[in-house]
Amino acid sequence: MSFNTFGLLFRVTTFGESYQQLSVRVGEWYASLRRTFLDKRRPGQSRFTSQRREPDSVRILSGVLEDEASGREVTTGAPIALVIENVDQRSKDYSEIRDLYRPGHADITYDLKYGLRDHRGGGRASARETASRVAAGAIARKIVPGLSVRGALVQMGSHRIERARWDWNEVDRNPFFCPDAKQAEFFADYLDGVRKQGSSVGAVIEVVAEGVPAGLGAPVYGKLDADLAAALMGINAVKGVEIGDGFLAAELSGEENADEIRMGNDGRPRFLSNHAGGILGGISTGQPIVARFAVKPTSSILTPRRTVDRYGRETEIVTKGRHDPCVGIRAVPIGEAMVACVIADHYLRHRGQVGEPPPWPFPAR
């Protein structure tokens, strides 16, 4: 399996599978990052997310050094290696269904590709892998000066939030990362019902990156939006990605879709709207980058589904285990992290290719 890395200059490589045990020690330097970001992804924080306990403590193996002059920890230029512990390892959970395929789950494609799969959990497809992404995103955020990347759940099942009620402060006040306080109350009841039925439901997540310099990306195959699409579609269970108005853009006229431009007070172009989601022709405009992605409902449900086993026998399956009724909730910090990683990578690429950006506006002739 060769494809465990993403990024060109900001490169992230992950390894590990579900249910690997590591003994770790948390360094102070990274601990502050952990509290901010990894905790968001962590299951078991409310009755709405998986009851597995994954403290996600992190140990730095290389790449960081205490600077003696300042007492601060600094990066050395060497690769920053992080190991994330999994202390709550109960690999027997899946033993009953180990030879069966869960409809909607990747265990069948593993068998068809590799001829085996790791019955101790989801293998590489396990949601555990995403903790590494969140950690990588925490580092990425430090690379681009002034970058802010925030995510929010904007739809659960068929229930959307009311955008007029959007309040970023609400995101941390409810277990759904929902910016609409009123809808979050509804989600609590709604998801309780889903959970009690042993069912599951999907969600839509929106990520907004502010402070992205204009000029990141490239016009043809290193497009910023193409890389964001890959990064977000590459999150477990994601089935759709939008930039800016996304699929709604297909319904707009050219007049509606045009983000008109005036001069801003800072002497830079100021867009009067952001249908483009901050990207035109694969290159950032300087506006906030807005991306959305759809997360399907988990395949681990209590209702029996028809399936076959690895030996070609037809049967039915029920997944008991400990599972999230809405895995989309935990995808919020993962989406943030992927966006941060892509922007950091393009920030470095742009610096390499172009160096100092050209001064704008150009001198009139």
Which positions from 307 through 336 interact with a second copy, judged by CB under 8 A? 307-314, 328
Nearest distance in Å: CB 134, a second copy: 14
- Give dist(CA 277, CA 235) in Å, integer: 20
Residues 249-278 that bind a second copy (CB under 8 A): 249-263, 267, 269, 271-272, 275-277
Residues 223-242 that bind a second copy (CB under 8 A): 223, 225-234, 236, 238-242
- Give dist(CA 179, CA 173) in Å, integer: 9
With binding defined as CB under 8 A, does residue 361 bind a second copy?
yes
Nearest distance in Å: CB 148, a second copy: 20
Residues 28-57 that bind a second copy (CB under 8 A): none
Nearest distance in Å: CB 256, a second copy: 8
Tokens of 348: 């470095």
By CB under 8 A, name the one of 40, 42, 52, 117 that touches a second copy.
117
Query: To the nearest 10°, the Cα dihedral for 342, 347, 351, 353?
Result: 30
Per rule CB under 8 A, count of chain residues that contact a second copy = 164
With binding defined as CB under 8 A, does residue 189 bind a second copy?
no
By CB under 8 A, name the one of 246, 274, 288, 318 that touches a second copy.
246
Q: Collapsing DSSP states into helix, strand and coil, what is residue 27?
A: coil
Tokens of 189: 């009841």
38 or 279: whose CB is closer to a second copy?
279
- Give dist(CA 266, CA 288) in Å, integer: 16
Omega within 30 of 0 (cis) for the link into 361: yes
Rounded to 5°, angle at Cα 322 from 308 and 230: 75
- Give dist(CA 227, CA 3) in Å, integer: 15
21 or 36: whose CB is closer to a second copy?
21
